[in-house]
Amino acid sequence: MAALALAGCAESERDPQSTDEGTEDTGGRDTFIFAASSDPASLDPAFANDGESFRVARQIFEGLVGTEPGTADPAPLLAESWEVSEDGLTYEFALKEGVTFHDGTPFDAEAVCFNFERWNNFTGVLQSESLSYYWQKVNGGFASSDVESLDGTGKYESCDAVDESTAVINLKSPLPEFISALSLPSFSMQSPTALQEYGADDVGGDESAPVLPAYATEHPTGTGPFMFDSWTRGQEVTLTANPDYWGEQGQVQRIVFPVIGDPTARRQALQAGDIDGFDLVGPADVVALEDAGFQIVNREPFNVLYLGMNQANPALQDLRVRQAIAHAINKDALVAQTLPEGTEVATNFVPPSVAGWSEDVTTYDYDPERARQLLAEAGAEGMTIDFNYPTNVSRPYMPTPEQVFQSIAADLEEVGITINPVPEPWSPDYLDRMQGTPDHGLHLLGWTGDYNDTYNFIGVFFGSPSNEWGFDDPELFQMIGDARYQTSVEDQTAAYEAANEAIMERLPGVPLAHPVPSLAFAPGVGNYPASPVQDEVYNVVTLDD
């Protein structure tokens, strides 16, 4: 039914239309239709941390730093170059000149400083993990806060607009991954005029259910090759080409992101010719689509799928219970049955390609008998536990969440654990519950690395107390923090290896797999810029009949 409904919409998208000049657009080959698995959580990337929000944001916004095509490595974008002081506290950015925001206002050093000051001065609900997630994880705090652990603890000091094309960022203490982190969509440059005019920071509600303002739903304003046109919740987001874009503006003049939560419906829509492509191809669909003449494009795996175990839940506080759960899971069967070909079983919370991955971590091999023994030792035989998992979504690390849940739940039931399923829609409920409240037990989540740095995995997860994991371990936090600031690559790698080993001894969750994310495209789609960190901007895509 979803595919049939989309067909009518997509047919109208592709119908010949009259242009402003009165000429006929035959075939709609300047429109790229890419199916999203869910609505974006926010069109203001400062308040987003999910892939669907970032997919849209990367078309609208740009940051000072981007990535080298096809890699996770940083590259100049709105900053043409930068210099770092010897003490690692001062970053001078030479900005690209002649760039304007979509509202016609200039991108300059004053705009850079406005954005940094905005992030650092978030207050109240804006400081919740479900909103300013990345500023917290990278910077570590805000200028002021009601939360003692965040008050004035951030690395950011100030920003100086030396002249129109020179911005200087001053830090309180070194932040080795600062340049790489600036490639995150959350740190995109946004129009100060639009942010103020449309009340970007006027967020209502509370941290468990924030209510976004007009800017984040109707008026996102960046410098990117595409501009916001419309967002019909639960249906589609539409963007149009920026006629004043400073860079290459290619064939694609319009992007439509129809929301199709079901993987089967996405496949059917591609096969029917209603969309040009989609992400998160189900493992069972890859061969069939290739045999039918469709293109399959694989990203390099730069992710981890995990089972989280929230220690704020009394049933999960005993290490022996967590060890029993780990031993109960048949990871090999899980990968074979639910994840794409080429997926690797995980032993660390970082993929093997990231420096700091350790082969010496404690592993918990599939051993149902050992799981039963541990539960008995902990006095937890016959325990019942909530198991949260997302619905109506596919993620790069988890294309079919319900199948993953069913596989793990069956393993846990086999060793005597009674599972209470808690399915919840991905957007906005699921992430807000996992990150904004302690109200969950076992849960499925994952992470696609944002840039090539170990802290971006284990620091984001375990660098400080969080609602997701529900534990306070100053020793572990210190280990990860010390590793983050090592000046020698060799010393940092060794320190991260030790931190990964400590994590797996404590076992806050179970790393399950490093899946290979696949995209599928119609035969006429060319030059799709596949990126391990999903830094994929559609102005380079070509469309043939």
What percentage of the chain carries pLDDT values higher than 70?
Answer: 93
Residue span(s) of the chain under CATH 3.90.76.10 come to: 48-205
Chain-centroid distance of CA 52 in Å reads 8
Averaged over 48-66, what is the pLDDT? 95
pLDDT of residue 152: 57
Give this prediction's pTM.
0.76
Beta bridge partners of 400: none
Type of residue found at 371: A
293-328 confidence digits (pLDDT tens)? 999 999 888 999 999 999 999 999 999 999 999 999
Note whether 445 and 430 are within 8 A (CB): no
| Tokens 């849209």, located at residue | 56
351-391 confidence digits (pLDDT tens)? 998 889 999 999 999 999 999 999 999 999 999 999 999 99
Give the span between the Cα atoms of 412 and 421, in whole angstroms: 12
Q: Is 163 helix (H, G, I), strand (E, B) or coil?
A: strand
Residue span(s) of the chain under CATH 3.10.105.10 come to: 303-514
Sorted by sequence, the CB contacts under 8 Å of residue 23 that are 6+ apart come out as none
Q: What share of the chain is helix, strand, coil (3-state, %, to 5)?
A: 35, 25, 45
Domain 303-514 has CATH 3.30.470.10: no
CATH architecture of 1-35+225-299+517-545: 3-Layer(aba) Sandwich (3.40)
Task: Tell me the residue ranges of DSSP E strands in 196-264.
Answer: 204-206, 209-211, 226-232, 236-241, 254-258
Instruction: State the average pLDDT for the chain.
Output: 91
Where is pLDDT greater, at 495 or 150?
495
Note whether 520 and 278 are within 8 A (CB): yes
- Helices 2-14 and 263-271, axial angle in degrees (round to 10): 40
Type of residue found at 465: P
pLDDT of residue 217: 96
pLDDT of residue 27: 44
Q: Is the pLDDT at 21 greater than 70, yes or no?
A: no
- Asked if the bond preceding 428 is cis, omega within 30° of 0, the reply is yes
Averaged over 199-213, what is the pLDDT? 89
Type of residue found at 443: H
Where is pLDDT greater, at 392 or 520?
520
Averaged over 47-71, what is the pLDDT? 94
The number of C-alpha atoms within 13 Å of 375 and in the hemisphere containing its C-beta is 24
Angular region, 500: left φ>0, alpha ψ -120 to 50, beta rest: alpha
CATH architecture of 48-205: Alpha-Beta Complex (3.90)
Distances (CA, A) of 452 to 16, 177, 319, 347, 460: 44, 9, 31, 19, 13
CA torsion, ordered 470, 475, 479, 482, to nearest 10 deg? 110
Angular region, 543: left φ>0, alpha ψ -120 to 50, beta rest: beta
250-284 confidence digits (pLDDT tens)? 999 999 999 998 889 999 999 999 999 999 888 88
- Hey, what are 516's tokens? 């290979």
Q: Is 462 helix (H, G, I), strand (E, B) or coil?
A: helix
Note whether 224 and 245 are within 8 A (CB): yes
CA torsion, ordered 267, 271, 274, 276, to nearest 10 deg? 80
Where is pLDDT greater, at 44 or 73?
44
Residue span(s) of the chain under CATH 3.40.190.10 come to: 1-35+225-299+517-545
Beta bridge partners of 151: 142
Type of residue found at 215: Y
225-254 confidence digits (pLDDT tens)? 999 999 999 999 999 999 999 998 999 999
- Hey, what are 456's tokens? 């971006």
118-132 confidence digits (pLDDT tens)? 999 999 999 988 899
pLDDT of residue 147: 57
The number of C-alpha atoms within 13 Å of 151 and in the hemisphere containing its C-beta is 5
Full 3-state SS string of 209-220? EEECCCHHHHCC
Where does the pLDDT of residue 195 fall: very low under 50, low under 70, confident under 90, or very high at 90 and above?
very high
pLDDT of residue 4: 41
Where does the pLDDT of residue 157 fall: very low under 50, low under 70, confident under 90, or very high at 90 and above?
very high
pLDDT of residue 15: 46
Averaged over 105-112, what is the pLDDT? 98
